[in-house]
Amino acid sequence: MSLAIHALQQSFASCFGQRATYHVRAPGRVNLIGEHTDYNDGFVLPCAIDFSTHVLGRINGSNRIRVVAADYHQQWDDILLDDAITHHGEYSWANYVRGVVLMLQSQGAALVGCDLLISGNIPKGAGLSSSASLEVALGLMLSTIAGCALSRLQLAKAGQQAENRFVGCNSGIMDQLISAQGQPHHALLIDCRSLSATPVAFPREWALVIINSNVQRGLVGSEYNARRAQCEAGAAHYGVGALRDLTPEDIGDIAARLDDVTARRVRHVVTENCRTLQAAKALAHGDMATMSQLMAQSHASMRDDFAITVPPVDYLVTLVDSIVGSQGGVRMTGGGFGGCVVALMPVALITEVKSQIATNYPKHSGLTADVFVCQPAAGAEVVAQP
């Protein structure tokens, strides 16, 4: 799924009459473990992947930002910098652009008129953070063109604010932060309270495999925001600022203290934080047996306590686990309700996993799955500028 940048330059010239002079990219991500813990001030263990959003740009000398989405049949948006920015009534992708513009302006960035073309190879709606990648890439492009240097943390925060305040999804900071700060051959253990990020080397002999169930998901739906509200209710019950502040010992027999739904949500987050810290140690030591166990526990918790998996995804996890066993780990990754499975395994097992998925998954689900073998990749970067 490599992108032909030369073809994108030709498309840019066709749309705007001149070649682009700026080029930035920002990667998607896969989360190895630590799901729905980020907005609870907890811990996550993601890595950036070698699938990215690319933005080509050129200053146009006006007070307008003109944007073409190359992957959506050349759809256009036109943003007047001097006007109040409102939602686009037709194109959902345009609201991510408008949200980033608005958040950068609110931070005092003096943006300039420019022409932009956006394209990427991150599967949309698969839980690999194509939206965060877009936000970070846009933030990097717009700030670079305007000559206002922003730190990678500032870019991540602007992207998260665009998603929370403008798009309407109450996501945490993980997706934007790993897209901005990812490191090659490493995962990052991110403390979502302090926003510190500790690199954890990814063993070179392990394969990182992403399986797209092709069950489409919508993060801006009510279910995601409902989970956040349930977690906040649980934290309020215990009188803590966030579920990050609780241990398994603190919650004890939680079912006796909270209604069933809230209790299960709290239990997932509290135990998932523990698993994530343990997984960072296992990854650093190349301990696949422990990683396998922790990923299995994480998936069960997402299925039973957080209720964010769906039957086709559960089937893929069971199928892959039957092949890799303790030699690998597998779990759903992302916000839930469809999307992707992440698996770690020896390279020698990849062919068998692909074969079994191709044979059995369509029979079970009526869908075909896409399997990607990835590498932990670098975060956002300016590829070219004048």
107 alpha-carbon distance from chain centroid = 23
Cβ-proximal residues to 157 (8 Å cutoff; 6+ apart), any chain = 173, 176
CA-to-CA distance for 167 and 93, rounded, in angstroms?
Answer: 10
Residues 6 or more apart from 359 whose CB is under 8 A from it? none
Q: Exposure pattern of 229-248 as b/e (b: 16+ CB <10 Å)?
A: ebbbebbeebeeebbbbbee
- Quickly count helices (H) and strands (E) in the chain: 11, 13
Cα dihedral across residues 82, 84, 90, 92: positive or negative? positive
Q: Nearest 10 degrees: CA dihedral of 169, 170, 175, 180?
A: 90
Q: Which amino acid makes up residue 214?
A: N
For helices 152-161 and 174-181, give the axis angle rounded to 10 degrees.
150
Residue pair 343/227 in contact (Cβ under 8 Å)? The answer is: no
Distance CA 130, CA 122 (A): 6
List active site positions: 175
